[in-house]
Amino acid sequence: MNKIKIAIIGATGFTGLDLTHYLAKHPRIKIVKLCATKNLGKNIFFFDKRIKKNLPKITSIKKINWNDLDLVFLSLPNGEAQKIIKKTFNRYKHLKYIDLSADFRLSSPSIYFKNYKKKHIAKKLLKFSLYSISEFNKKKIKNFRIISNPGCYPTSIQIPLLPLIKSNLIDINNITIDSKSGYSGAGKSFKKKFKHRNLFSSTYAYGVKNHRHTSEIDQEIKKITKKRVVYTFNPHLIPTFRGMLSSIYLNTKKKIKPEQIRSFLIKYYKNSKFIKITKLNEQIGSGDVLNTNLCKISICKTRIKNKFIIFSAIDNLVKGAAGQAIQNMNIMFGFKENIGLND
């Protein structure tokens, strides 16, 4: 089989290591370069003992021969991917990119600046990029050279919520979203970002008024409805390394029962290998999906008439990051959607 040649830039971060772990076992992939700014010359298994395969040692991006690549994964701090893509996009027209930062998630440079306090230097390339939750873009991905991987919170929220908003089955005037994530979502610098007491033994609420990922959710909602959707979103950091659980509190339209909501989502995702809808009222948690590319969804009744809760569980580093990036890649190159992601 022909293999596509890839580089992972930012290979030693939490997401980069998950990318390397899965791609090293992918039968249609040849890893040509693993790049970072530190620890040059070291073996990748020094950072992650799961990676058994003999892979290229960590090198600088300066060592990349761009002509020798088909695809680049960019797992970098916000603001860095756009610099690399701007320099290489027009010169290497065969090259494709999957960006796991926020650089190409927002179509508006001004909203990007407002949320990330960085000026977008590759505005002209935004039209060549696609914000892609894999399940929503299977027919579009092949038409774009830049795939923007969504944030982990928006992934866990949009998969159950967007189809329901579009279907007009729910009340869109009062939605409450409560999400909890393992600290790996903040990257290896999480101790600098979160300085609250007892980091490893407490739950911490943050981003109360306006978390960055709200702009992603707003953007994608506007693509499917002109109606005003009123929701609140609050993220929490929990003392676990990986895993995410979003609890979405909803009201149904009159005479719509949770059983109908469940049946609708089952039908909507009938051809989606990584979306699992549980039986009604099943209790789930992030532990059900750790180290998988699954999104597990449970619809639960409450004591209040016409009010129910959707629980959506993902692994923030897999379906919320590396796994979804590989899923997008598989679709982009015409591979089976789940290849390389079965374990």
Write out pLDDT tens, residues 200-258: 777 878 877 778 889 999 999 999 999 999 999 999 989 888 999 999 999 988 788 89
Number of neighbouring beta carbons within 10 Å of residue 217: 22
d(CA 142, CA 129): 11
d(CA 266, CA 171): 20
Write out pLDDT tens, residues 139-180: 999 999 999 999 999 999 999 999 999 998 999 998 999 999
Phi, psi of 51 (to 5 degrees): -85, 100
pLDDT of residue 53: 84
Domain with CATH 3.40.50.720 in the chain: 4-150+320-332
Q: What is the pTM of this model?
A: 0.94
pLDDT of residue 205: 81
pLDDT of residue 239: 87
Instruction: To the nearest 10°, report the CA torsion of 299, 224, 206, 327.
Output: 80
Which of 44-48, 210-214, 293-297 has the weakest average pLDDT?
Answer: 210-214
Write out pLDDT tens, residues 20-45: 999 999 999 999 999 999 989 999 99
pLDDT of residue 292: 97
pLDDT of residue 203: 80
Contact 261, 278 (CB under 8 A): no
The model's confidence at residue 61, banded by pLDDT at 50, 70 and 90, is very high
d(CA 327, CA 96): 15
Q: For the domain with range 153-316, which CATH number is right: 3.40.50.2300, 3.40.50.300, 3.30.360.10, 3.90.940.20?
A: 3.30.360.10
Mind telling me the catalytic residues?
152
Domain with CATH 3.30.360.10 in the chain: 153-316
Write out pLDDT tens, residues 188-200: 555 556 566 677 7
197's tokens: 């007491």
Q: What is the CATH number of domain 4-150+320-332?
A: 3.40.50.720
Mean pLDDT computed over 74-96: 97
Instruction: Find how far residue 260's CA is from the centre of its chain.
Output: 28
End-to-end CA distance of the chain: 22
